[in-house]
Amino acid sequence: MTDEGPRLQHKRRRTRWMIAGTATVVALGVGTAVILTRVGSGTAIAGPQAPAKVETAEVVKTDLSDKKTESGKLGYGLETALAGRKQGTITGLPSTGDQFDRGKAVYKVDAKPIVLFYGDIPMYRPVGPGVSNGPDVKLVEENLKTLGFGGFGAPDEKFTDGTATAIKKWQKSLKVDQNGTVEIGDVVIAQGPFRVSTLVANLGAQGTTDVLKYTGVNRGVTVKIKAEQRDNAKPGSKVTVSVGGKQTTGTVQQVTLAAADNNPGMGGGDQDTKFDVSIKLDDPGAITAPDGSSADVRFTTVSHNGVLAVPVGALLALAEGGYALEVVEGTSRRLIPVQTGLFADGKVEVSGPDVREGMQVVTTS
């Protein structure tokens, strides 16, 4: 019974210090002191210490993001195969690197141009007099109107005499038969302008073979990721791209299943499946390295917004367990216990009943 009082008093002192310490080093009993270690410096602090000029940092409210870096390759993004759908013989082909906009002839079959239209669906039937209503009719009208061949009102899914007349005028400009019908193979459909990356067919090949492969027209980066990383690479999400010591930001454009010949994991379960991520550089001119250069891409894996944070060097690791901050108030200092959250970019998220934005705390960095 005689030892219970000192032990209880000792315990209360420790608890009182953990909640509201008033000095950097706090005595817990005769000849006993808590040893503190400044996180990030490895320096042990034992008291008492003479006052000294210290470096401080402010507790700030900010957004913290943890990131993961993956290796990629600089180029023009993912390739898409263009399959020919026009019966006949290929008599004209573009060159690698050629770029095409809406209305331009991409290649020729039987000396007739195959023209680029923009759209999200392929041509699946001839569009001409007598055709029933459908989204392909609207696609044709939208492209004709943009190219200057209107007269049918606002583009819609209904084929009218005005639509047929517009098609004939467009066909006349191409110097082809003016029959008022757009056949399936008369046009190629893409979501926007493209750049020829690889020629697949040769002159003289059948018009129904694969003709070429194309990419977007803006330089970007392609990265291969695992299935469990897909949530970090959603279309529209921002990334940081570093190539040859230069850095810029980018935007994820699309995520597609990697080709089987480049994806050894396919067939081995979802965890082994790989995906290709196409990233558009927000400022293409920021990276001047040649195509094919290696690129480091940083994806955000977790983000905490509007949290209180301090430099990691401001954390004090307590021998008793947990962490504290040493707050500077005029000529005095005191310790406050904190809970840590996300560590990112040399900062750490901190919380606790005594932590406030704007506080000055001792730090090593």
* Domains observed in the chain: 27-65+305-362 (2.40.420.20), 67-77+218-303 (2.40.30.170), 83-215 (1.10.101.10)
Which pairs count as long-range contacts for 28-32, CB under 8 Å and 24+ apart, including other chains? none
Whether the predicted pLDDT of 264 surpasses 60: no
Scored b (16 or more CB within 10 A) or e, 74-105 reads: bbbbbbeebebbbeeebeebbeeeeebebbee
- Amino acid identity for residue 65 in this structure: S
Query: Stretch 199-205: mean pLDDT, rounded?
Result: 97
pLDDT of residue 18: 36
> Looking at 43-57, 146-160, 321-335, which range is the least confident one?
43-57
Instruction: Write out pLDDT tens, residues 71-125.
Output: 999 998 888 999 999 999 999 999 999 999 999 999 999 999 999 999 999 999 9
Whether the predicted pLDDT of 223 surpasses 80: yes
pLDDT of residue 24: 40
3-state secondary structure 60-127: EEEEEEEEEEEEEEEECCCCEEEECCCCCEEEECCCCCCEECCCCEEEEECCEEEEEEECCCCCCCCE
Which residue is associated with the tokens 């003289």?
204
Q: What is the model's pTM?
A: 0.63
Question: What's the residue count for the chain?
Answer: 365
- CA dihedral (220, 225, 228, 231) in degrees, to 10, reads 0
Neighbour tally for 246: CB within 10 Å: 11
Instruction: Write out pLDDT tens, residues 231-248.
Output: 889 999 999 999 988 999
Which residue is associated with the tokens 């930001």?
249
Instruction: Write out pLDDT tens, residues 9-38.
Output: 333 333 333 333 333 444 323 333 344 666
Q: What percent of the chain has pLDDT over 90?
A: 70
Instruction: Write out pLDDT tens, residues 310-353.
Output: 999 999 999 889 999 999 999 999 999 999 999 988 999 999 99
pLDDT of residue 41: 54
Query: Stretch 204-224: mean pLDDT, rounded?
Result: 94
Q: Indicate the pLDDT class of residue 2, thresholds 50, 70 and 90.
A: very low
Q: What angle do CA 332, 336, 337 make, to 5 degrees?
A: 160
